[in-house]
Amino acid sequence: MKWGILATGTIAKKFASTVQRMRDSGEILVAVGSRREESARQFAEEYGILRHYGSYEELAADLDVKAVYVATPNNFHYENCIMCLNAGKHILCEKPFTTNADDARELYRLAEEKGLFIMEAFWIRFLPVYSHLQKILKEDVIGQIRHIRCEYGFIAKGARKDRKFDSSLGGGALLDIGIYNLGFLHMITKAAPESFQSQVHINGYGTDDFSTIQLSYPGGCTAYCAQSIGMVMDRQAVIFGEKGTISFQDYQHAESFCVRLYDGQEYMVKVPFTINGFEYQIKETSRCVAEGRSASDKFTPEDSLTVLQLMDDIRKSWGMKFEYEKS
């Protein structure tokens, strides 16, 4: 499929380098757009992209572009997706899909109305290791799940720190990396929590730099997650069942997990990436477009909306609003 990229930041570079290695699968980058033409030109030269534009509007108007990867800051996702849908483009939009669930509902509605595909780029959802995990859970290997724990944290400095915490851009740890924790929990529970409790630290930017969340799910399963931009937390996760545990040393870049049963059995499941993990969401987008779908049946709008709504509710419990929500 012929791709265009909106924005030229770090995540856009990872996407571009991935597509470069998927040419034999029919994936090709044909255009890139930035608010600065020089940034677009340099990006195009680095990744061998045919055309570059000094505006997002010009990229959306490129008739050769079939699908757009939206990699702009959080608060621009909604308006960028609206523009691309109105230009007749299929969309893979970086997470968080939008900064609130209502905007996301409107994007899914509009895409369906126009007969175009749209999906949140929650890339870990498509990692092959998780298909193996679901099989093990379905076979009741560790028994009924009682508790799940996961965490994710890193330190941002300088301009990156300012951008990560910028309230006008929909910043903060919850939407940036807490979404991975909550998305992982949803992958396991396949449900919205019945209740949650959360503690948060709000920084001088007016956004969250650290929080913990305790959740209760239907059927008695509980969960705990912690997310921080300011403290290093290994991306570890553990699923506790009646018969044993499943643990991930890195649940985000997951290529393996360990099954430990209480009867003494222990074994590893290893499923390495073909490239870097991004390739699977790209393949899913192309599959769905080829089949004429407006949404994925593997990562549905309901899956995405459940996590987005939960993040809305968590922010509301904190009393934290973004700058553009205060008027």
169, 91: one domain: no
- DSSP letters for 49-91: -SEEESSHHHHHT-TT--EEEE-S-GGGHHHHHHHHHHTT-EE
Read off the CATH number of the domain in which 174 is found: 3.30.360.10
- pLDDT per 10-residue tile (average), the chain, 327 residues: 97 98 97 97 97 98 98 97 98 98 98 98 98 98 98 93 94 98 98 98 97 97 98 97 98 98 98 98 98 98 98 98 90
pTM exceeds 0.95: yes
Residue 14 in any domain: the answer is: yes
Please provide the distance, in angstroms rounded to a whole number, between the alpha carbons at the two ends of the chain: 41
| Residues 111, 135 share a domain | no
Neighbours of 140 (CB within 10 A): 11
Residues 150 and 213 occupy one common structural domain:
yes
Domain end, chosen from 82, 98, 124, is at 124
Q: Tell me, what's the pLDDT at 326?
A: 85
The Cβ of residue 63 has, within 10 Å, a number of other Cβ atoms equal to 7
92 in the same domain as 118: yes
Specify if 311 maps to a domain: no
Number of domains observed in the structure of the chain: 2
| Same domain, residue pair 164 and 265 | yes
Which of 247, 272, 297 delimits the end of a domain? 272
Question: Does 308 map to a domain?
Answer: no
Residue 76 lies in a domain: yes
111 & 169 share domain = no
**Local structure of 310: helix, strand or coil:** helix
Residue 192 contacts residue 309 (beta carbons within 8 Å): yes
CB 113 within 8 A of CB 306: no
Q: Is residue 201 part of a domain?
A: yes
CB atoms within 10 A of CB 258: 15
- Pair (134, 259) in one structural domain: yes
- Given 124, 151, 183, which residue is the final one in a domain? 124
Same domain, 214 and 226: yes
The catalytic site residues sit at 95
What is the spatial distance between Cα 239 and Cα 32, in angstroms, rounded to a whole number?
41
Q: Phi and psi dihedrals of 19, rounded to 5?
A: -60, -35
- With H, G, I as helix, E, B as strand and everything else as coil, classify residue 28: strand
Does residue 80 sit in the same domain as residue 141? no
Asked if the structure places residue 326 within a domain, the reply is no
- Looking at residue 221, its amino acid is C
Closest among 258, 255, 256, 235 to 245, alpha carbons compared: 258
Answer yes or no: is 42 within a domain: yes
pLDDT at 1: 98
- For residue 326, which amino acid is it? K
CATH number of the structural domain spanning residue 120: 3.40.50.720
- Does any domain span residue 171? yes
> Are 248 and 136 contained in the same domain?
yes
Same domain, 133 and 256: yes
What residues make up the domain containing 163? 128-272
Query: Which of 62-66's residues contact partners 24+ apart within 8 Å by CB, and which partners?
Result: 62/4, 62/30, 62/31, 64/2, 64/30, 64/31, 65/2, 65/3, 65/4, 65/30, 65/31, 65/89, 66/1, 66/2, 66/3, 66/90, 66/289
The reply to whether 149 and 262 lie within a common domain is yes
Given a contact cutoff of 8 angstroms between Cβ atoms, the answer to whether 59 and 65 are in contact is yes
Q: Distance between CA atoms of 256 and 248, rounded to whole angstroms? A: 7
**pLDDT on residue 159:** 85
